Chains A and B, each alone.
Chain A
Amino acid sequence: MGRYVIRRLLQMIPVFFGTTLLIFLMVNVMGDPIAGLCGDRQCDPATAARLRAEFGLDKPVWQQYATYMGNVFTGDFGTAFNGQKVTELMGTAFPITIRLTIVAIVFEIVIGITLGVLTGLRRGRPIDTTVLILTLVVISVPTFVTGLLLQLLLGVEWGVIKPSVSSEAPVDELIVPGLVLASVSLAYVTRLTRTSIAENARADYVRTAVAKGLPRRRVVVRHLLRNSLIPVVTFIGTDVGALMGGAIVTERIFNIHGVGYQLYQGILRQNSQTVVGFVTVLVLVFLAANLIVDLLYAVLDPRIRYA
């Protein structure tokens, strides 16, 4: 196990640098970082040259990347367009997005797995068909449409929620945005659990459990569910990173000042430090989530042993 963890950590290193370099190059392609610093006007050439030298932008790209990464490892993520430290922005933005992601994941687990178990045990019945069609619809309607419609109906027409989330973003205001963010993954979790349950329901160990007279509830929860949840856990784990990165759309619709909002601002103002900094952290979250999922795998499925 220990050796496996070490090997995985070593494998993460090239991936981490590859991904950040890719984003770094994209941001560099994105345009002149100086252009955003003089408001809406063009900088005059002398100022531009001075700023360029100040930020090290006259150096070759690989050198800029090396300097930047060196700073990141000492905890310096640079300065955002308004003079704030990027780390300060992260300090306010990440808790909000993490709350939003947690709300979304709770929805995925509670609703997704419940529906998946219900339909998996009743394959072919009306409830199965209904839920399957519903999941298809949810998957097909893009998140931003779902978000706009829920905002229109719940926020504007019926007044059940506030159409836009306040800047502190307490959990109760994040329930509907969390549901919107979770919607597509929720549908996948449902379908995945359903398939997995339906497959395992025919397994020998389930027949044995039923034959030795265990109550149905115990068979489902202890035997069937535990074995069927392995692929679901994988999906939800890898989804953590996707949710945090995908929160951009949800945060835009509900005006949530989280990671997506800051990134969007960073891109609009062409502030490469904000963009690269946030993306670097997101990549780390994603890699860590994947590693944890792989390790959980061994815990959930004793057949898997990492040398």
Chain B
Amino acid sequence: MPEQQPWEDPSGAISGTGAGGATDLAMEEGGSLEKSPGPDGTGPAGKPRSLWSDAWRDLRRNPVFIISALIILFLVVISIWPSLIADRDPLSCDLGKAQEGSQPGHPFGFDGQGCDVYTRTVYGARTSVTVGVCATLGVSLLGGVLGGLAGFFGGVWDAVLSRITDVFFGIPVVLGGLVFLSVVTSSTVWPVIGFIVLLGWPQIARIARGSVITAKQNDYVQAARALGASNTRMMLRHITPNAVAPVIVVATIALGTYISLEATLSFLGVGLKPPAVSWGIDISAASQYIRNAPHMLLWPAGALAITVLAFIMLGDAVRDALDPKLR
């Protein structure tokens, strides 16, 4: 087994800069594990004081978790049904009203093209949430599976994967985005999601590899091996349930950073392209009018900051709950 690099420590220095995980996933898993046999099939229902039930109890009492979960719930609802709170079309604009401030029916005013800033801010949530959730799912699946397998089997595959992750870590993300996405002309979210998955999976792979290696050395895994359990059974029943926590934590925090990354790329003009509605695009457009009409910048920027904040706070809360060392 190649030596572990200092930054490969799953609980280490840069876990906070990480990639994202689906929030709902983390919550669902915490919840369902408490009441019924987990999705992984560990143990009998309601087994007292398992890591997950402990974590869930902690989370329910944590105000930070409740606040961030409510914000995220709200964001998810308005991304699915934006018309619940905004009944206009985000693409219908009136140039005559360009840069005008707040007025009745248009609480956030108008942007440089005379579009309603409120409607565009509401519709922008859909883009951000879609990018965040899809990219996180993709990154977690790809990185989790590859990293987990490398950690489990070790040897040549592990060495190869470690070098491959080194390669991807060598590419600065924003820079890679500029190069890779500058040819894309599509205005859908998929190229951006694909790019984030492409550059994001090594981070999760490292975390998954580290935690699988740790879990593999536990006595009960050795015992299962001695009793003749197959590789598949050991991976699914013994290792995965015990190695998944760090991945979920890093993935949740990363979800926030992916949303921020999408906005950054859109701001640089290579992420999403108009007519897509994205906070990054709106902020970029607003930066030209920043002296005359700062409201155009402040609303989407505020929405973006609150969204990212909510996911990072949620990740923090989940980590505190899952990491017994911090209690």
Contacts and interface: CB of A to CB of B under 8 A. Distances in A.
A31 B184 CA distance: 10
A198 to B, nearest CB: 9
Interface residues of B, number: 47
Contacts of B170: 15-16, 18-19, 241, 283, 286-287
Interface in A29-53: 29-31
A191 B171 CA distance: 25
Interface residues of A, number: 56
A145 interface: yes
A165 B260 CA distance: 25
Contacts of B305: 137, 140-142, 145
A220 B214 CA distance: 33
Contact of B178 (A144, A232, A264, A287): A264
B12 A15 contact: no
Given A30-B179, A30-B183, A249-B267, A234 B308 contact: no
B166 interface: yes
B13 interface: yes
Contacts of A252: 268
Given A14-B163, A234-B6, A294-B6, A267 B172 contact: no
A294 B287 CA distance: 41
A235 B6 CA distance: 10
Contacts of B183: 29-31
Contact of A19 (B167, B260, B294): B167
A188 B17 contact: yes
Interface string A175-202: 0000000000000100110000000000
Contacts of B290: 148, 151-152, 156
A167 B6 CA distance: 39
A143 interface: yes
B304 interface: yes
Contact of B13 (A156, A232, A263, A282): A232
Interface in A1-42: 11, 14-16, 18-19, 22-23, 26-27, 29-31
Interface in B129-167: 163-164, 166-167
B14 interface: yes
21 contacts: A14-B167, A19-B168, A22-B168, A23-B179, A31-B182, A136-B312, A137-B309, A139-B16, A140-B260, A140-B305, A141-B301, A142-B308, A143-B264, A144-B263, A234-B7, A234-B12, A234-B13, A242-B172, A263-B175, A268-B182, A283-B170
Interface of A: 11, 14-16, 18-19, 22-23, 26-27, 29-31, 136-137, 139-145, 148-149, 151-152, 156, 188, 191-192, 231-232, 234-235, 238, 241-242, 244-246, 248-249, 252, 263-264, 267-268, 275, 279, 282-283, 286-287, 293-294, 297
